[in-house]
Protein backbone atom coordinates (compact mmCIF):
# COMPACT_ATOMS: atom_id res chain seq x y z
CA UNK A 1 0.00 0.00 0.00
CA UNK A 2 2.69 2.39 1.06
CA UNK A 3 4.60 1.59 -2.09
CA UNK A 4 1.71 2.41 -4.32
CA UNK A 5 1.24 5.62 -2.50
CA UNK A 6 4.87 6.48 -2.98
CA UNK A 7 4.85 5.73 -6.67
CA UNK A 8 1.81 7.93 -7.12
CA UNK A 9 3.61 10.68 -5.38
CA UNK A 10 6.63 10.05 -7.55
CA UNK A 11 4.61 10.48 -10.69
CA UNK A 12 3.30 13.73 -9.36
CA UNK A 13 6.83 14.65 -8.54
CA UNK A 14 8.14 14.11 -12.04
CA UNK A 15 5.82 16.87 -13.21
CA UNK A 16 6.21 19.11 -10.25
CA UNK A 17 8.34 22.19 -10.66
CA UNK A 18 8.97 21.35 -14.29
CA UNK A 19 8.34 23.83 -17.03
CA UNK A 20 8.36 23.73 -20.79
CA UNK A 21 10.15 26.85 -21.91
CA UNK A 22 9.82 28.53 -25.27
CA UNK A 23 11.01 31.65 -26.94
CA UNK A 24 9.08 34.54 -28.34
CA UNK A 25 11.20 37.39 -29.62
CA UNK A 26 13.96 37.86 -27.09
CA UNK A 27 12.14 36.54 -24.07
CA UNK A 28 11.92 33.08 -22.66
CA UNK A 29 8.57 31.95 -21.33
CA UNK A 30 7.41 28.81 -19.59
CA UNK A 31 4.28 26.69 -19.20
CA UNK A 32 3.76 24.26 -16.39
CA UNK A 33 4.50 20.90 -17.93
CA UNK A 34 1.40 19.24 -16.53
CA UNK A 35 -0.77 21.25 -18.90
CA UNK A 36 1.19 20.35 -22.02
CA UNK A 37 0.05 17.33 -24.01
CA UNK A 38 2.26 17.57 -27.07
CA UNK A 39 4.36 19.74 -29.31
CA UNK A 40 3.84 19.71 -33.07
CA UNK A 41 5.31 21.58 -35.96
CA UNK A 42 3.33 24.32 -37.60
CA UNK A 43 0.68 23.01 -39.98
CA UNK A 44 -2.08 24.21 -42.22
CA UNK A 45 -4.40 26.44 -40.25
CA UNK A 46 -7.97 26.98 -41.32
CA UNK A 47 -8.86 30.57 -40.73
CA UNK A 48 -12.16 31.43 -39.16
CA UNK A 49 -13.64 34.80 -39.93
CA UNK A 50 -14.53 37.40 -37.36
CA UNK A 51 -12.20 36.25 -34.62
CA UNK A 52 -9.62 38.33 -32.82
CA UNK A 53 -6.34 38.50 -34.70
CA UNK A 54 -4.46 36.33 -32.24
CA UNK A 55 -6.78 33.36 -32.71
CA UNK A 56 -5.36 32.08 -35.96
CA UNK A 57 -8.03 29.49 -36.61
CA UNK A 58 -8.40 25.75 -36.19
CA UNK A 59 -6.19 22.79 -37.00
CA UNK A 60 -6.86 19.12 -37.46
CA UNK A 61 -5.01 17.17 -34.81
CA UNK A 62 -5.57 13.54 -35.83
CA UNK A 63 -9.28 14.00 -36.31
CA UNK A 64 -9.67 16.28 -33.35
CA UNK A 65 -10.25 19.88 -34.22
CA UNK A 66 -8.55 22.36 -31.93
CA UNK A 67 -8.15 26.11 -32.03
CA UNK A 68 -4.71 27.70 -32.26
CA UNK A 69 -3.59 30.99 -30.78
CA UNK A 70 -0.55 32.97 -31.76
CA UNK A 71 1.09 33.87 -28.48
CA UNK A 72 3.20 36.52 -30.17
CA UNK A 73 0.08 38.33 -31.34
CA UNK A 74 -1.58 37.72 -28.01
CA UNK A 75 1.23 39.74 -26.45
CA UNK A 76 0.64 42.43 -29.05
CA UNK A 77 3.99 41.97 -30.66
CA UNK A 78 4.61 42.17 -34.37
CA UNK A 79 3.84 39.04 -36.33
CA UNK A 80 6.67 37.16 -38.00
CA UNK A 81 6.63 34.61 -40.81
CA UNK A 82 6.23 31.08 -39.57
CA UNK A 83 9.28 28.93 -40.27
CA UNK A 84 10.45 25.43 -39.57
CA UNK A 85 11.27 26.33 -35.98
CA UNK A 86 7.77 27.60 -35.32
CA UNK A 87 5.96 25.18 -33.05
CA UNK A 88 2.48 24.58 -31.77
CA UNK A 89 2.33 23.62 -28.10
CA UNK A 90 -0.89 21.73 -27.45
CA UNK A 91 -2.18 22.41 -23.99
CA UNK A 92 -5.13 21.07 -22.03
CA UNK A 93 -6.56 23.61 -19.67
CA UNK A 94 -9.91 23.17 -18.00
CA UNK A 95 -10.95 20.57 -20.58
CA UNK A 96 -10.16 22.91 -23.44
CA UNK A 97 -7.52 21.75 -25.88
CA UNK A 98 -5.77 24.59 -27.53
CA UNK A 99 -2.59 25.06 -29.49
CA UNK A 100 -0.21 27.94 -28.78
CA UNK A 101 1.98 29.07 -31.64
CA UNK A 102 5.44 30.05 -30.42
CA UNK A 103 8.64 31.09 -32.18
CA UNK A 104 10.52 28.04 -30.96
CA UNK A 105 10.48 25.59 -28.11
CA UNK A 106 13.53 25.74 -25.84
CA UNK A 107 13.73 22.99 -23.25
CA UNK A 108 12.12 21.41 -20.22
CA UNK A 109 13.50 22.90 -17.05
CA UNK A 110 13.22 22.14 -13.39
CA UNK A 111 12.75 25.29 -11.45
CA UNK A 112 12.47 24.62 -7.72
CA UNK A 113 9.90 26.61 -5.88
CA UNK A 114 12.60 28.49 -4.01
CA UNK A 115 13.76 30.06 -7.27
CA UNK A 116 10.35 31.31 -8.27
CA UNK A 117 9.32 34.80 -7.32
CA UNK A 118 6.22 36.87 -7.86
CA UNK A 119 6.34 39.32 -10.75
CA UNK A 120 7.11 42.90 -9.84
CA UNK A 121 4.07 45.04 -9.25
CA UNK A 122 4.39 47.37 -12.18
CA UNK A 123 1.38 47.28 -14.41
CA UNK A 124 2.34 48.75 -17.68
CA UNK A 125 1.22 47.48 -21.02
CA UNK A 126 -0.82 44.35 -21.45
CA UNK A 127 1.65 41.52 -21.17
CA UNK A 128 2.12 41.56 -17.48
CA UNK A 129 -1.14 40.01 -16.44
CA UNK A 130 -0.38 36.76 -18.25
CA UNK A 131 2.75 36.25 -16.21
CA UNK A 132 2.06 34.48 -13.02
CA UNK A 133 5.52 33.99 -11.64
CA UNK A 134 9.10 34.56 -12.58
CA UNK A 135 11.59 31.73 -12.44
CA UNK A 136 15.31 32.19 -12.00
CA UNK A 137 17.61 29.75 -13.73
CA UNK A 138 21.25 30.67 -13.31
CA UNK A 139 21.50 34.21 -14.57
CA UNK A 140 18.49 33.91 -16.81
CA UNK A 141 14.94 34.76 -16.09
CA UNK A 142 11.98 32.70 -17.33
CA UNK A 143 8.54 34.24 -17.42
CA UNK A 144 6.07 31.62 -16.29
CA UNK A 145 2.73 32.03 -18.01
CA UNK A 146 -0.72 31.51 -16.67
CA UNK A 147 -2.61 29.38 -19.19
CA UNK A 148 -5.95 30.29 -17.70
CA UNK A 149 -5.36 33.97 -18.20
CA UNK A 150 -4.36 33.48 -21.81
CA UNK A 151 -7.76 31.96 -22.43
CA UNK A 152 -10.01 33.57 -19.89
CA UNK A 153 -9.37 37.13 -20.76
CA UNK A 154 -11.40 36.91 -23.91
CA UNK A 155 -14.59 37.94 -22.16
CA UNK A 156 -13.15 41.37 -21.70
CA UNK A 157 -12.24 41.40 -25.37
CA UNK A 158 -15.74 40.39 -26.29
CA UNK A 159 -17.19 43.12 -24.18
CA UNK A 160 -15.01 45.80 -25.65
CA UNK A 161 -15.97 44.60 -29.10
CA UNK A 162 -19.64 44.96 -28.30
CA UNK A 163 -19.10 48.50 -27.08
Partner 1 sequence: MSDQYSNEPLMEMFLFETSQLLEQLEQNILSSEKESGFSEDSINEIFRIMHTIKGSSAMMLFDNIAKLAHSIEDLFFFIRKEKPEQIDLTVLSDLVLEGVDFIKTEVEKIKGSSPADGNAENLVVTIKNLLTELKRMNAAPAAAFTPIPSGDYAYKALIHFEEGCEMENIRAYTIIHNLKELSKEIYYIPEDIIDSDESINVIRKNGFQIYLKTDRDYRKMHEFFMQTIFLKDMELLQLEDTEFAQYNKPEITPEENLTKLSIGKEVSQVEKPVRTDQLEKEPTTTNTTQSIISVGVVKLDKLMDLVGEMVIAEAMVIQNPDLKGLQLSNFTKAANQLNKITSEIQDIVMSIRMVPLSATFIKMHRIVRDMCKKLDKDVHLEIIGEETEVDKNIIEHISDPLMHLVRNSVDHGIENTQERLEKGKSKSGTITLEAKNAGSDVLIIVRDDGKGLNKEKILKKARENNLLFKNEEDMTDKEIYNLILLPGFSTKEKVTEFSGRGVGMDVVTKNIEAVGGTLSVDSVAEKGTVITLKIPLTLAIIDGMNIKVGKSRYTIPTISIKESFRPKETEIIYDPDGNEMIMVRGECYAIRRLHELYKLKTNITKFSEGIIIMVEQDEKTVCVFADELLGQQQVVVKALPHYIQSFKRIRGLAGCTLLGDGSISLILDVARMFNR
- For binding to partner 1 (CB under 8 A), which residues are involved? 44, 46-52, 55, 58-60, 63, 65-67, 96-98, 151, 154, 158, 161-162
**11 vs 38 by CB, closer to partner 1:** 38
**96 vs 141 by CB, closer to partner 1:** 96
**Cα gap 119→134, rounded to integer Å:** 6
- Shortest Cβ 58–partner 1 spacing (Å): 6
Are 77 and 136 in contact by the 8 Å Cβ rule? The answer is no
**Cα gap 115→48, rounded to integer Å:** 41
Q: Which residues pair with 39 in a beta bridge?
A: 89
CB within 8 Å of 89: residues ≥ 6 apart: 20, 22, 31, 36, 39, 99, 100, 102, 105
- Shortest Cβ 101–partner 1 spacing (Å): 14
**28 vs 55 by CB, closer to partner 1:** 55
- Shortest Cβ 90–partner 1 spacing (Å): 12
Amino acid sequence: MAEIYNSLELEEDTQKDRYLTFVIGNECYGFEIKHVTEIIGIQAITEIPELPEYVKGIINLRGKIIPVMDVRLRFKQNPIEYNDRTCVIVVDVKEISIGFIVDRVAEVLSIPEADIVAPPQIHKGTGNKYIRKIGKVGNEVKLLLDCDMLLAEQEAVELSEVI
